[in-house]
């Protein structure tokens, strides 16, 4: 066994504002990202704790191959007990901090405790000289872009940031954790789902600054094999269809045809505004306004991130994704991608999940609290969130909170988390994922876009996708690179100079799910709690409701014998 040695973790005590570097357990070398977060939370976090109290544990963990020369491999997982679902949560994002932490040999940041003074703000500085917690009161309640503009003047240019916006500081359960993107420019990448920004905010941690200085890439044990894998994988990807070359927003018309471009709080599956929400319009705008497709992290070959400019040619936001165009667009009957771009920027500024926020606003509209498609009203509403109005706080706390605030009956969710664009009624195997994933309704946990499946196929297709995505989100590879389990185990093998078998990689994915399910059971959540809400069981779209019976759902919790396609199936989220 060889490969990178001397790895460390950072333990941060926010009660006493101290940080120390400790050795990373050798036996965890093949665990990163989501799987590592699950291991740490299982060992160190009481599942019954108050998610916004001192006993919750916030984990920041890059993937196993992050910081190496492997393509598109710098993803980072943010983990903790979710204040939204009440269960374990992992939210995965791109940007630079994952690469930078791993170049410094840091496999995880583990944050515990809470300052006695809830008004105090702190930062964690990480660089080649060590780690320290410093005061950051001057940055209290700054929006993410203003914060990063200021930080760029305070830190070396090589520094990337993990930040908490005002929504997180306010403890709003739709809050995200932001990371800065390539060139350490903007806080445009978000570990968005599950309200982990509120966990970061509850600990008084405003930002983490990671400066790798002149640290180089991580050296694999079998450099020749690892290099060959990088070369071959990159060549095959670049010669393939490159499905994300125009970004996830190009999925809009396809989703519309599949009845999953949800409209007006999901009462319909198709939007009459599909043409003006199509990501193709964004790509067309590059010619007259500037903007481009770019990579959110160094070493990315997918380049799915669109940089969106306004009519004056100035940067507005990045990336404007399919999920955002659906939840803040069609689901609120907003007609134009340009309006959605404004709202995407506002959510990034505040540090809010665009899916949860869009789901919440649609409920407000459905309840009669705002006109459908009122983009000006939506902008004003988002701008009142960090002013602390009751309505703003309800929206910032997500769909279920907004349902309670308005008294409205139609609240699509699972485990208290609103449903992503991909709808479980036409896509029932994806619905099985929403009902059974430890993450609640999260398409990145196991997306299955196949409306032709029969009921006896739902569970295997969902289980396969959940295992592949759990391993992918532990590896550091981006789901949009679409690596298979065979791809990932081959990279692991070359990195550490040992053979990783199919059985091992299957066990890792399944083991991650089992640890997460165990955490949720200990937190008091039942299988029934995870079933999608009434709105999806009673209101049809395209003639379909979600009606997969519990005896089918329960089959998910038995590990199925692996079929050959498990190892060639591609990550998809």
Partner 1 sequence: MPVIQIPPPYRGPTQGMTEVDVEGATLRECLEAVEKQYPGFGPLVIDPAGNVRKFATWFRNGDKLMGDVLATPLDPNDSIEIISSVAGG
Q: Which of residues 221-280 bind partner 1 (CB under 8 A)?
A: 240-241, 243-244, 248-251, 253-255, 257-258, 280
* Closer to partner 1 by Cβ: residue 206 or 443: 443
* Closer to partner 1 by Cβ: residue 104 or 445: 445
* Closer to partner 1 by Cβ: residue 454 or 558: 454
**Of 216, 368, 407, 452, the one binding partner 1 by CB under 8 A:** 452
Q: Count residues binding partner 1 (CB under 8 A).
A: 34
Length of the chain: 573
Site for partner 1 contains 53 (CB under 8 A): no
* Closer to partner 1 by Cβ: residue 321 or 423: 321
* Closer to partner 1 by Cβ: residue 68 or 466: 466
Site for partner 1 contains 290 (CB under 8 A): no
How many angstroms separate the CA atoms of 45 and 529, rounded? 21
Site for partner 1 contains 451 (CB under 8 A): yes
Site for partner 1 contains 323 (CB under 8 A): yes
Site for partner 1 contains 443 (CB under 8 A): yes
Over its C-alpha atoms, the chain yields an Rg (Å, rounded) of 22
Site for partner 1 contains 312 (CB under 8 A): no
Structure tokens at 495: 């990195």
Tell the burial category of 335 from Cβ atoms under 10 Å away from its Cβ (0-12, 13-18, 19+).
Answer: middle
Contact letters for partner 1, residues 463-482 (x by CB under 8 A): ----------------xx--
Site for partner 1 contains 426 (CB under 8 A): yes
With contacts defined by CB under 8 A, name the span among 318-326, 394-402, 502-510, 519-527 that binds partner 1. 318-326
Q: What is the largest CA-CA distance in the chain?
A: 63
Helix and strand tally (H, E) in the chain? 23, 17
With contacts defined by CB under 8 A, name the span among 110-118, 410-418, 440-448, 520-528 that binds partner 1. 440-448
Site for partner 1 contains 546 (CB under 8 A): no
* In the complex, minimum distance from the CB of residue 382 to partner 1, in angstroms, rounded to a whole number: 20
Q: Are 77 and 110 in contact (CB under 8 A)?
A: no
How many angstroms separate the CA atoms of 181 and 189, rounded? 6
End-to-end CA distance of the chain: give it in Å, rounded: 33
* Closer to partner 1 by Cβ: residue 123 or 327: 327
Site for partner 1 contains 449 (CB under 8 A): yes
How many angstroms separate the CA atoms of 255 and 20, rounded? 47
Residue identified by tokens 């669109």 is: 306
How many angstroms separate the CA atoms of 147 and 155, rounded? 12
* Closer to partner 1 by Cβ: residue 356 or 515: 356
Q: Which of residues 510-529 bind partner 1 (CB under 8 A)?
A: none
DSSP string, 8-39: EEEEEETTTTEEEEEEPPGGGTT--HHHHHHH
State the CB neighbour count (10 A cutoff) for residue 50: 13
* In the complex, minimum distance from the CB of residue 447 to partner 1, in angstroms, rounded to a whole number: 6
* In the complex, minimum distance from the CB of residue 377 to partner 1, in angstroms, rounded to a whole number: 26
How many angstroms separate the CA atoms of 14 and 200, rounded? 10
* Closer to partner 1 by Cβ: residue 402 or 444: 444
Site for partner 1 contains 453 (CB under 8 A): yes
**Of 41, 282, 327, 447, the one binding partner 1 by CB under 8 A:** 447
Q: What are the backbone angles phi and psi of residue 204, rounded to the nearest 5°? A: 70, 15
Site for partner 1 contains 444 (CB under 8 A): yes
Q: What are the backbone angles phi and psi of residue 548, rounded to the nearest 5°? A: -70, 125
Site for partner 1 contains 558 (CB under 8 A): no
Structure tokens at 206: 């405003």
Site for partner 1 contains 176 (CB under 8 A): no
* In the complex, minimum distance from the CB of residue 563 to partner 1, in angstroms, rounded to a whole number: 15
With contacts defined by CB under 8 A, name the span among 48-56, 269-277, 443-451, 506-514 that binds partner 1. 443-451
Site for partner 1 contains 540 (CB under 8 A): no
Q: Which of residues 395-424 bind partner 1 (CB under 8 A)?
A: 421
* In the complex, minimum distance from the CB of residue 571 to partner 1, in angstroms, rounded to a whole number: 9
* Closer to partner 1 by Cβ: residue 169 or 473: 473
How many angstroms separate the CA atoms of 437 and 445, rounded? 7
How many angstroms separate the CA atoms of 281 and 309, rounded? 12
Q: What are the backbone angles phi and psi of residue 503, rounded to the nearest 5°? A: -60, -40
Tell the burial category of 10 from Cβ atoms under 10 Å away from its Cβ (0-12, 13-18, 19+).
Answer: buried
* Closer to partner 1 by Cβ: residue 240 or 368: 240
Beta pairing partners, 263: 268
How many angstroms separate the CA atoms of 166 and 139, rounded? 10
Site for partner 1 contains 321 (CB under 8 A): yes
How many angstroms separate the CA atoms of 304 and 8, rounded? 32
Q: Is 421 helix (H, G, I), strand (E, B) or coil?
A: coil
Beta pairing partners, 352: 175
Binding site for partner 1 (CB under 8 A): 240-241, 243-244, 248-251, 253-255, 257-258, 280, 321-323, 421, 426, 443-444, 447-454, 457, 479-480, 572-573
């Amino acid at each position: 066994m060889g490969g990178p040695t001397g790895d460390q973790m950072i333990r941060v005590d926010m009660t006493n504002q101290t940080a120390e570097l400790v050795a990373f357990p050798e036996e965890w070398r093949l665990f990163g990202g989501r799987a590592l977060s699950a291991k740490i939370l299982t060992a160190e976090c009481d599942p019954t704790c108050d998610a916004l109290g001192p006993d919750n544990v916030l984990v920041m963990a890059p993937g196993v191959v992050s910081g190496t020369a492997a393509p598109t491999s710098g993803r980072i997982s943010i983990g903790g007990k979710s204040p939204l679902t009440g269960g374990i949560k992992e939210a995965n994002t791109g940007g630079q901090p994952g690469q930078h932490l791993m170049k410094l040999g840091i496999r995880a940041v583990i944050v515990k405790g809470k300052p006695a003074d809830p008004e105090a703000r702190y930062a964690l500085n990480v660089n080649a000289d060590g780690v320290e917690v410093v005061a950051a009161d001057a940055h209290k309640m700054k929006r993410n872009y203003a914060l990063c503009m200021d930080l760029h003047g305070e830190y070396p240019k090589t520094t990337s940031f993990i930040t908490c916006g005002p929504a997180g500081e306010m403890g709003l359960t739709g809050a995200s954790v932001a990371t800065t993107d390539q060139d350490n420019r903007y806080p445009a990448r978000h570990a968005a789902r599950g309200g982990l920004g509120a966990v970061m905010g509850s600990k008084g941690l405003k930002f983490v600054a990671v400066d790798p200085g002149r640290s180089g890439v991580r050296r694999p044990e079998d450099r020749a094999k690892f290099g060959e894998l990088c070369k071959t994988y990159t060549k095959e990807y670049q010669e393939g269809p490159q499905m994300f070359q125009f970004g996830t927003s190009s999925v809009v018309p396809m989703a519309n045809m599949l009845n999953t471009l949800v409209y007006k709080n999901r009462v319909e599956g198709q939007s009459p505004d599909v043409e003006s929400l199509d990501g193709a319009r964004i790509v067309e705008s590059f010619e007259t306004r500037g903007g481009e497709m770019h990579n959110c992290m160094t070493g990315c070959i997918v380049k799915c991130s669109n940089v969106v400019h306004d009519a004056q040619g100035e940067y507005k936001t990045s990336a404007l994704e399919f999920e955002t165009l659906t939840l803040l667009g069609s689901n609120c009957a907003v007609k134009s991608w340009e309006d959605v771009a404004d709202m995407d920027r506002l959510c990034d500024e505040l540090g809010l999940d665009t899916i949860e926020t869009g789901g919440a606003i649609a409920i407000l509209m459905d309840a009669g609290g705002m006109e459908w498609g009122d983009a000006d009203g939506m902008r004003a509403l988002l701008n009142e969130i960090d002013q602390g109005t009751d309505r703003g706080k309800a929206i910032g706390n997500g769909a279920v909170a907004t349902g309670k605030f308005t008294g409205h009956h139609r609240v699509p969710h699972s485990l208290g988390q609103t449903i992503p664009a991909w709808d479980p009624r036409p896509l029932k195997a994806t619905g099985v994922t929403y009902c059974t994933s430890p993450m609640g309704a999260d398409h990145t946990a196991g997306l299955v876009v196949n409306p032709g499946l029969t009921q006896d196929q739902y569970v295997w297709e969902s289980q396969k996708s959940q295992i592949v995505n759990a391993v992918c989100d532990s590896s550091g590879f981006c789901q949009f690179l679409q690596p298979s389990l065979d791809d990932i185990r081959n990279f692991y093998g070359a990195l550490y100079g040992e053979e990783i078998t199919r059985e091992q990689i299957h066990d890792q994915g399944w083991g991650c799910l089992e640890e997460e399910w165990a955490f949720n059971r200990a937190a008091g959540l039942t299988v029934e709690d995870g079933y999608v809400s009434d709105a999806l069981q009673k209101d049809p779209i395209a003639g379909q409701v979600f009606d997969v019976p519990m005896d089918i759902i329960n089959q998910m919790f038995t590990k199925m014998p692996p079929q050959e396609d498990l190892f060639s199936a591609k990550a998809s989220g």
